[in-house]
């Protein structure tokens, strides 16, 4: 299987949103997705982008291409550490898991962090999401901290 | 006491960093603050700002001014909700607590959210930090979610 990791473009947004919905279903919160496609595109590709993404694309036998996963991040500012990458989503569609696609996406993010001199990557995982936690444990030096509570208003 | 809430400026950064260190001590992690002042200033007031802040300033009897607290945020992009404010820090120096300064700062953030049409505010609190949790509970509609684990690399 030919898997290519490349920067996400405007035309990928519709498919990315499909994958977001797939993940929300898995995380038992399908109704929580209220973002609108135009606003999603504007936030990533308008004059002041606030998110960036990499997509994993496979090439089929007839040479057509299909996006099967992506990683989306923004820059967070920590008053303790400085600029860090915040990994908002890393998604591989269910039927394509177990092919090392998630690892390829994650490796790409690590590369971006080094290039942009970010002080690391942070993200969150649901405490019951064991497959994801086991995936993250494969990377040297990942730290887990369950002492914080998320708040929102 | 005359308390003024205003936008944080470049000249405020040294004092803001002092307050960051005070908070880190309270959160039992004084050695975790490794950010450097130049980088802090550049990230807030360089060509591509990634954080914004409001400061709480008191005026003394001799008309001198002194910053006693601040709130610092960045824009996060949620693939579920769209653009939201992430409240990185809200700090009031210990000797000045109980004067409603934190509430004034928080009210200012709510105002900014409305003006910029953000889809809400998110932040985190340490699960043992009862005074902070009780403070947040004063605001209508605040939700707490302890189901997520922070990860970093």
In which domain, by residue range, is B67 found?
A: 3-136
Q: Mark yes or no for CB contact A124/B77 under 8 Å.
A: no
- Residue B91: which residues within 8 A CB-CB, separation 6 or more? B19, B20, B22, B23, B69, B70, B71
Q: How confident is the model at residue B27 (pLDDT cuts 50, 70, 90)?
A: confident
CA angle A111, A52, A90 (to 5 degrees): 70
What is residue A118's DSSP assignment?
-
Among the partner-chain residues B80, B81, B86, the one whose CB lies closest to the CB of A76 is: B86
**A43 within domain boundaries:** yes
- Please give the structure tokens belonging to residue A113: 């962090």
- Scan for tokens 């450097």, then name that residue: B36
Q: What is the pLDDT of residues B1-26, one digit of tens each?
A: 789 999 999 999 999 999 999 988 88
Active site residue A136: yes
**Which residues on A lie below 8 Å from B124 (Cβ)?**
148-151
**A123 within domain boundaries:** yes
pLDDT at B101 over 80: yes
Please give, rounded to a whole number of angstroms, the shortest distance from the CA of A100 to a CA of chain B: 19
**Which residues on A lie below 8 Å from B146 (Cβ)?**
149-150
The Cα B3–Cα B59 span in angstroms is 7
**Which residues on A lie below 8 Å from B33 (Cβ)?**
79-80
Work out the burial of residue B91: count CB atoms within 10 Å of its CB; fewer than 13 is exposed, 13-18 middle, 19 or more buried. buried
Q: What is the mean pLDDT of chain B?
A: 91
**A89 within domain boundaries:** yes
The Cα A71–Cα A44 span in angstroms is 13
What is residue A63's DSSP assignment?
S
**B153 within domain boundaries:** no
Q: Which residue of A has its CA nearest to B40?
A: A82
Among the partner-chain residues B34, B80, B152, the one whose CB lies closest to the CB of A35 is: B80
Q: Are residues A79 and A119 in contact, defined by beta-carbon separation less than 8 angstroms?
A: no
**B8 within domain boundaries:** yes
Q: Mark yes or no for CB contact A151/B122 under 8 Å.
A: yes
Q: What is the pLDDT of residues B66-94, one digit of tens each?
A: 999 999 999 988 888 889 999 999 999 99
Given this model, what pLDDT does residue B96 score?
A: 92
Among the partner-chain residues A122, A123, A148, the one whose CB lies closest to the CB of B126 is: A148
**B142 within domain boundaries:** no
Q: In this predicted complex, what is the ipTM?
A: 0.77
CA angle B142, B148, B150 (to 5 degrees): 110
Given this model, what pLDDT does residue B16 score?
A: 96
Q: Mark yes or no for CB contact A81/B147 under 8 Å.
A: no
**Which residues on A lie below 8 Å from B29 (Cβ)?**
80
Given this model, what pLDDT does residue B60 score?
A: 86
Which CATH number is A35's domain given?
Answer: 3.40.630.30
Q: Write a three-state SS string for B60-119.
A: CCCCCEEEEEEEEEEEEEECCCEEEEEEEEEEECHHHCCCCHHHHHHHHHHHHHHHCCCC
pLDDT at B139 over 90: no
Backbone CA torsion sign across A105, A49, A119, B53: negative
The domain tally of chain B equals 1
pLDDT at A81 over 90: no
- Please give the structure tokens belonging to residue A112: 């971006």
**A151 within domain boundaries:** no
Averaged over B52-65, what is the pLDDT? 92
Averaged over A8-30, what is the pLDDT? 91
Q: Mark yes or no for CB contact B33/A80 under 8 Å.
A: yes
């Amino acid at each position: 299987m030919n898997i290519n990791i490349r920067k996400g473009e405007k035309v990928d947004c519709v498919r990315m949103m499909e994958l977001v919905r797939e993940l929300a279903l898995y995380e038992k919160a399908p109704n929580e997705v209220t973002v609108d496609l135009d606003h999603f595109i504007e936030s990533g590709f308008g004059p002041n982008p606030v998110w960036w993404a990499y997509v994993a694309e496979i090439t089929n036998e007839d040479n057509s291409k299909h996006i099967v996963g992506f990683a989306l991040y923004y820059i967070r500012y920590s008053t303790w550490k400085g600029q860090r990458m915040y990994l908002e989503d890393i998604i591989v569609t269910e039927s394509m898991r177990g092919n090392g696609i998630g690892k390829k996406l994650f490796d790409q993010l690590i590369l971006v962090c080094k290039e942009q001199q970010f002080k690391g990557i942070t993200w969150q995982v649901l405490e019951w999401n064991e497959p994801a936690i086991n995936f993250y444990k494969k990377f040297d030096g990942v730290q887990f901290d369950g002492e914080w509570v998320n708040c929102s208003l």
